[in-house]
Amino acid sequence: MKNSVFGQKIYSFLLDTYRWYLQTPERSLDQAYDAALKIQEIENKHFNGNKIDINSTMYSNSVMDYFQSDLKKLLKTAKMRLTEFRASRWFLDEEDQQAAQKAGIEHPSPSLVLEKLNFIDQVISKYTTSDNQITSKALVVKPQIPVSSVISDNNSLSVNTPTLPPKLPTQDSDIKPKSKLKADTTGVLPRSILSTISRLQVELDPNAEKEVIQNFRQTQRRTIISIRFILLLIIVPLLTHQIAKAFVVGPSVDHFRSDERIQIFLNSEMEEEALVNLQRYEERLKFQNLIRNAPALSPEQIEIEMRNKAVEIAEEFRRESSNAIKNVFADVFSVVAFIWLLLVSKSSIAVIKDFFDHIVYGLSDSAKAFIIILFTDIFVGFHSPHGWEVLLEGVSRHWGLPANRDFIFLFIATFPVILDTIFKYWIFRYLNRISPSAVATYRNMNE
């Protein structure tokens, strides 16, 4: 019995494998067709139906690198599947086709196959002539690229660095790569004369004006995309928080906390604050009665006033407790919206990274040192514990949590120290290579 079951399993496995083999031409053609459709979708959506050109000025170089990587993968998939389609059709004979018909495998009509092949050839033919140039063009490094892309861990030039518009020259930000240039070799003429000649050659180039205009447009486009994406990162989570709190989380929390028997205070700190407010109201009531030269309030009147104030304070803290619970769930919606925005905006993230690289590394030495000292003094300086304490207490109150003093003190004792170590490591590891004069200025200002 066991042998018969095992034999049936082997027969079923071999039959499925043979069916997969018979379906190979159709499967390979569909995969190649899907890859060509994706290429056409990118062309229609981002390039107005034109070819994906690396020299296009519609997007920045980082965005073009993103499109080029997708193009390479899709072209590779289409070509490999077409090769698989041809090979599988060559191996399949008439007996296999008859076996496929007996097994119930329906092959597409010849007209449909020809239509798909023509479409694939039309899409791929745009890139076959320049397919070998895609990699070579991506490796070309233009002069005056951001220093952050030039300097790697081994202080060498990264060949996959995207070409970007030139930035304004600074005192030490335009560090030259280690590739051997005429200006870096020791010759008969001084380097300053050679650099002047090179600058004159660039200025006398008839295409210099066109390149300057193109670089300006790319820089302008990069700035617009970066500012728009930064605003989206701020506005979208805030709007999501307010909308979720008003229309989704708020009604649900109010529904479940509508009963008067619900606990008013979420933690002991709220209760202590309510007692302090009630005590201050009682003292204020007695003080006003004394300075008005009016008849003294009877104990019954004072009791009535205190009861009314207690009800008012209880209602206030009930709303504050409900608001804290709403904030917790609304913040979850905001975080989800923020993460979703990051996931769907990979190209914008690459653009904004280049935008900040040009801003930060385009500053002068004194500006860099000023910004570093400002951030270090705010987050890890002598007065930073007070700011961290206020921030943590505000977050705790926002979520209705008790401000645990032990946790706050432990956080202040560890987290700023970690930040300070990261700042010092970054200065020693990267900034000291990129801009040693900025490090010297920072040390002089810090002293």
**Per the confidence metrics, is the pTM higher than 0.75?**
no
On whether both 270 and 396 belong to a single domain, the answer is no
**3-state SS class at 3:** helix
Q: Is residue 180 part of a domain?
A: yes
On whether both 134 and 7 belong to a single domain, the answer is yes
Q: Is residue 188 part of a domain?
A: yes
Buried b (16+ CB within 10 A) or exposed e, 169-192: ebebbbeebeeeeeeeeeeeeeee
Q: Is residue 129 part of a domain?
A: yes
On whether both 68 and 106 belong to a single domain, the answer is yes
On whether both 73 and 184 belong to a single domain, the answer is no
On whether both 179 and 113 belong to a single domain, the answer is no
Q: Is residue 374 part of a domain?
A: yes
Which of 347, 373, 395 lies at the terminal end of a domain, its last residue? 347
Which of 186, 219, 252 lies at the terminal end of a domain, its last residue? 219
Answer yes or no: is pLDDT of 349 > 70.
Answer: yes
Give the pLDDT score at 340. 93
Q: Tens digits of per-residue pLDDT, 148-189?
A: 333 334 333 333 333 334 443 433 434 334 444 433 444 555
First to last CA, the chain: 89
Give the pLDDT score at 105. 62
- Nearest-Å Rg of the Cα atoms of the chain is 35
Q: Tens digits of per-residue pLDDT, 366-409?
A: 888 888 888 888 888 877 888 899 999 888 888 888 888 888 89
Give the pLDDT score at 169. 41
Domain residues for 175? Answer: 164-219
Q: Which of 131, 138, 132, 187 is nearest to 158 (CA)?
A: 138
Which of 103, 138, 173 lies at the terminal end of a domain, its last residue? 138
Q: How high is the mean pLDDT of the chain?
A: 76
On whether both 12 and 131 belong to a single domain, the answer is yes
Predicted confidence band at 137 (pLDDT cuts at 50, 70, 90)? very low
**What φ, ψ does residue 260 adopt, rounded to 5°?**
-70, -20
Number of domains in the chain: 4
On whether both 171 and 113 belong to a single domain, the answer is no
Q: Is residue 242 part of a domain?
A: yes
Amino acid found at 71: L
HSE, CB side, 13 Å, CA atoms: give it for residue 369: 17
Q: Is residue 146 part of a domain?
A: no
Predicted confidence band at 337 (pLDDT cuts at 50, 70, 90)? very high
Q: Is residue 22 part of a domain?
A: yes
- Token pair for residue 384? 């930073």
Q: Tens digits of per-residue pLDDT, 79-105?
A: 888 888 887 777 665 555 555 555 556
% residues pLDDT > 90 (the chain): 10
């019995």: which residue's tokens? 1
On whether both 304 and 255 belong to a single domain, the answer is yes
On whether both 235 and 210 belong to a single domain, the answer is no
CA–CA gap between residue 142 and residue 310 (Å, rounded): 73
On whether both 209 and 310 belong to a single domain, the answer is no
What count of other Cβ atoms lies within 10 Å of the Cβ of residue 382?
7
Please compute the mean of the pLDDT values over residues 343-364 and round it to a whole number: 85
Of these ranges, 6-10, 292-296, 401-405, the one predicted with the greatest mean pLDDT is 401-405
On whether both 312 and 404 belong to a single domain, the answer is no
Q: Is residue 235 part of a domain?
A: yes
On whether both 182 and 281 belong to a single domain, the answer is no
CA–CA gap between residue 125 and residue 44 (Å, rounded): 17
Lowest mean pLDDT among 7-11, 106-110, 336-340, 394-398: 7-11
Helix 24-46 crosses helix 61-91 at what angle (to 10 degrees)? 160
